Amino acid sequence: MTQLSVNVNKIATIRNARGGNNPDVLKVALDCEKFGAQGITVHPRPDERHITGQDVLDLKPRLTTEFNIEGNPDERFIDLVSRVKPAQVTLVPDAPGVLTSNAGWDCIANFDHLKGLVDLFKSQGIRVSIFVGTDIENIKAAARTGADRIELYTEPYAAQYHEDREAAVAPYVHAAVAAHELGLGINAGHDLDLHNLAYFHECVPFLDEVSIGHALICDALYLGVEETIKRYLDCLK
């Protein structure tokens, strides 16, 4: 069964826009779990414009589902992940000022760097996922680092979905099959929503987890958090 991990960054963005603690990131995360989410994802960036290091420390002892910390593995990030020891770390090649993740790793060019990170985090008992596109040779390099999983960057799928969904999903099907044959688990995320998620899940085999934040929180503004999570889980049945 494909797991739903809810990214709560957007909740922190709303909180930080006003100051104070409304909405309460911890409460929303715990409610997401209560409503059926099988994991919580955060992406603490260096400028702390949404999730802060303190949020990460507050979440870890209270969560009862899988905790996934994603981000660019700079020194600050490495120290935070090593301190918290989440169930999973997802390595993302974000530049410090980027608005949102917009590309996967070049695992061939960054092989030594990634392998060192994988070795470090796995030695701490943390499952490691590498954020990548659908290029098969790149996925082979990700497997050679010793990573446990890849996370497929799905923005290109979402962008093409309404025009030609079969063509949009085809590279992801091939990538998932190749990754599975290499012994990698498969996560996916970025711009998946209630319109395109069910078809992606139907077509892409061996899908372990989807991580969804922005679209899910936008839907929750109209539907409420509980109903929104129910609908996303229905897409994964």
Active site residues: 43, 70, 190
What's the burial of 154, exposed, middle or buried (CB within 10 Å: 0-12/13-18/19+)?
buried
Q: How far is CA 200 from the centre of its chain?
A: 16
Q: State in Å, rounded, how far the first CA of the chain is from the last one.
A: 8
Cβ atoms of residues 190 and 155 within 8 Å: yes
Cβ atoms of residues 67 and 87 within 8 Å: yes
Structural element, H or E, at residue 109: none
Cβ neighbour number for residue 160 with a 10 Å cutoff: 16
- Give the bridge partners for 3, in sequence order: 209
Those residues whose C-beta lies under 8 Å from the C-beta of residue 57, and which sit 6 or more positions away, are 83, 84
Cβ neighbour number for residue 133 with a 10 Å cutoff: 20
Angle at 198 between CA 196 and CA 202, to 5 degrees: 120
- Position of tokens 């969560």? 63
Cβ atoms of residues 85 and 124 within 8 Å: yes
**Of residues 216, 215, 214, the one with CA closest to residue 228:** 216
